[in-house]
Amino acid sequence: MILLGADHGGVGLKDAIKNYLEQNHIACKDFGTFDTESVDYVPIASKVAHGVANGEGEFGILCCGTGIGMSMAANKVQGVRAAVCSDPYCVEMTRRHNNANVLCMGGRVIDEQKAVEFVKIFLSTGFEGGRHQRRVDQIAAVERGEL
């Protein structure tokens, strides 16, 4: 299950991603927003991030104007590793090296076609583990106040 969320600045990307997921029979849940009326992004990011952290969804995808606000809010939830990406290389590497579980993108930064391309990369790229696992474990230690 892929959990989706966007504010007014990212709703177009979210809708294109949702369409792609549904056409490819990939289960998703949409936490809104559903139009371009101005909304606060933090409650939407929180719903998606908590859903990923508690296992409701394997991955989250969040879109706002830049992706930055969504990533900042999502990363406040323990167990979430949200990355804002604006190029394919960063999307691939955040999965391979950081085991990111939430992809954040900006509707004022990339277009819908690129967003769908990035989702394909994100969902098809695995975590390499190895030395990278130690670093992901250190991120969790920071969350717990141990590092």
- Structurally, the chain folds into a number of domains equal to 1
Given 28, 90, 97, 132, the catalytic residue: 97
Spatial distance between the Cα atoms of 90 and 98, rounded to a whole number of angstroms: 11
pTM: 0.97
Spatial distance between the Cα atoms of 138 and 133, rounded to a whole number of angstroms: 9
Write the pLDDT tens digit of every residue in 55-76.
999 999 999 999 999 999 999 9
Token reading at 3: 């959990």
CATH number for the domain spanning 30: value is 3.40.1400.10
Domain hosting 62: range is: 2-143
Has 97 been annotated as catalytic?
yes
Has 132 been annotated as catalytic?
no
Given 8, 63, 64, 85, the catalytic residue: 64
Write the pLDDT tens digit of every residue in 29-56.
999 999 999 999 999 999 999 999 999 9
Spatial distance between the Cα atoms of 27 and 39, rounded to a whole number of angstroms: 25
Write the pLDDT tens digit of every residue in 108-138.
999 999 999 999 999 999 999 999 999 999 9
Write the pLDDT tens digit of every residue in 65-107.
999 999 999 999 999 999 999 999 999 999 999 999 999 999 9
